[in-house]
């Protein structure tokens, strides 16, 4: 049998006046726009309890309600997948997600996801929206995540994220020698020519703010600590590429590996062979949803990023850029 999904979302001010299907695509990003349109037409996705057309406009403060059967090829079933749990109590679970693990079942990743692992670890999470997930990391981004184990905790964590009180810090390793940190305030939306990509856009984008500071310099590369005010899809990857400092290993926004002139074979191999975007969620701060207690969690760098940093320090030391300018 197909699984029934039940989700709700409030329409924020920035989506006031948007088409229903466009707003739904923003608020339910785990499902394609064509699938959402189909659910709207069938009456499975309603606006303020009423059946509408995909082109109907939404208003801030309205509520979308989704109740639909998820096709059999996507599995929200428990699976015995190992979890690296950092902290757990009756309300929340904090874990270290490895690179390569998809967060939600979806087309192309029917199972073997973090949600499948969580449902095996705590079966009651199956009754929660999105299996208890309140925020996501890209498949190839590693690091710290929090999930809710109760409905109250889920609502509270979602509120904290919307109010921007959750503190998230990432480690990223970028192409290019930065002179200092800064803030990127550049709205983001879907790429105008490639729906699977995001981009900085001049019109119609959602606010996106990224702060970054330099933590380690190399000849042609830079390690930075990144904190987010907003949580847009691919935000760090898009913003750093927009500033011309794409992440090492990012095939979508970084392009082909850039090899410095005079690079050693070891450095060339490391840059060409790094298998993913060099991005790791290393710290998370929040208020406990039950007690209100401030909580802070940290997650050490994974072996692949540690090895990359070691090679950069030894094979691309500070000063190299002056000795061999350019790529």
The enclosing domain of 62 has a CATH number of: 3.10.290.10
Residue 76 lies in a domain: no
Residue 264 lies in a domain: yes
Give CA separation, 2 vs 18, 68, 77, 120, 124, in Å. Answer: 31, 10, 11, 18, 19
Which of 32, 47, 70 is where one domain is finished? 70
Residue 78 lies in a domain: no
pLDDT of residue 73: 43
**Residue-number span of the structural domain to which 152 is assigned:** 85-162
Which of 133, 162, 191 is where one domain is finished? 162
155 with 184, same domain: the answer is no
315 with 173, same domain: the answer is yes
Residue 25 lies in a domain: yes
CATH number of residue 171's parent domain: 3.30.2350.10
Q: For residue range 78-135, what is the model confidence (pLDDT) as tens digits?
A: 999 999 999 999 999 999 999 999 998 776 677 899 999 999 999 999 988 889 999 9
Which of 162, 182, 201 is where one domain is finished? 162
Residue 80 lies in a domain: no
Beta strands per DSSP E along the chain: 3-10, 45-47, 63-70, 85-88, 92-97, 142-148, 167-175, 182-185, 188-190, 198-200, 209-217, 221-228, 279-287, 294-298
Set 138, 156, 250, 316: catalytic member: 138
172 with 279, same domain: the answer is yes
The residues, any chain, with a CB within 8 Å of residue 182's CB and separated by 6 or more, are 211, 212
> Which one, of 228, 89, 247, lies nearest residue 167 by Cα?
228
Residue 130 lies in a domain: yes
219 with 312, same domain: the answer is yes
Residue 98 lies in a domain: yes
DSSP 166: S
Report pTM: 0.76
- Provide the domain count of the chain: 3
217 with 274, same domain: the answer is yes
pLDDT of residue 256: 82
Q: Judge residue 194's burial from the number of C-beta atoms within 10 Å of its C-beta, 0-12 exposed, 13-18 middle, 19 or more buried.
A: exposed
Beta strands per DSSP E along 45-166: 45-47, 63-70, 85-88, 92-97, 142-148
Give CA separation, 108 vs 68, 74, 112, 115, in Å. Answer: 19, 9, 11, 15
Structure tokens at 168: 């998230």
302 with 171, same domain: the answer is yes
185 with 239, same domain: the answer is yes
116 with 63, same domain: the answer is no
Concerning whether 111 is annotated as a catalytic residue, the answer is no
44 with 180, same domain: the answer is no
**Helix pair 265-273, 303-315: axis angle to 10 deg:** 150
DSSP 20: H
Residue 205 lies in a domain: yes
Tell me the average confidence (pLDDT) per consecutive run of 10 residues in the chain, 327 residues long. Answer: 74 90 85 81 90 92 86 70 97 97 78 93 91 93 97 95 93 96 94 83 90 97 96 95 96 89 96 95 97 97 98 91 44
318 with 178, same domain: the answer is yes
pLDDT of residue 203: 85
309 with 195, same domain: the answer is yes
60 with 14, same domain: the answer is yes
């Amino acid at each position: 049998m197909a699984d029934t999904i039940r989700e709700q979302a409030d329409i924020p001010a920035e989506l006031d006046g948007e088409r229903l299907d466009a707003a739904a695509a923003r608020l339910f990003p785990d499902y394609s726009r064509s699938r959402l349109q189909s659910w709207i037409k069938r009456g499975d996705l309603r606006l303020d309890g009423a059946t509408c057309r995909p082109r109907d406009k939404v208003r801030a403060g309205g509520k979308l309600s989704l109740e639909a059967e998820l096709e059999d090829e996507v599995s929200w079933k428990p699976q015995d997948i190992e979890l690296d749990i950092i902290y757990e109590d009756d309300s929340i679970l904090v874990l270290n997600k490895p690179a390569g693990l998809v967060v939600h079942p979806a087309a192309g990743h029917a199972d073997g996801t973090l949600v499948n692992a969580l449902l095996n670890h705590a079966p009651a999470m199956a009754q929660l929206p999105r299996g208890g997930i309140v925020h996501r990391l890209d498949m190839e981004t590693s690091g710290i995540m929090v999930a809710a184990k109760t409905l109250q905790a889920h609502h509270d964590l979602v509120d904290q994220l919307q109010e921007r009180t959750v503190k998230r810090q990432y480690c990223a390793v970028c192409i290019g020698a930065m002179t200092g940190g800064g803030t990127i305030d550049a709205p983001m939306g879907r790429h105008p020519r490639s729906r699977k990509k995001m981009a900085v856009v001049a019109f119609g984008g959602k606010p996106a703010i990224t702060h970054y500071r330099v933590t380690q310099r190399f000849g042609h590369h830079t390690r930075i600590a990144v904190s987010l005010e907003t949580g847009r899809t691919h935000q760090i990857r898009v913003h750093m590429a927009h500033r011309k400092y794409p992440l090492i290993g990012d095939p979508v926004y970084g392009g082909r590996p850039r090899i410095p002139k005079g690079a050693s074979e070891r450095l060339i191999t490391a840059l060409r062979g790094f298998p993913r975007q060099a991005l790791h969620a290393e710290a998370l701060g929040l208020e406990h949803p039950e007690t209100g207690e401030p909580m802070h969690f940290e997650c050490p760098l994974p072996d692949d990023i540690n090895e990359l940093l070691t090679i950069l320090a030894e094979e691309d030391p500070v000063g190299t850029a002056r000795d061999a300018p350019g790529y």
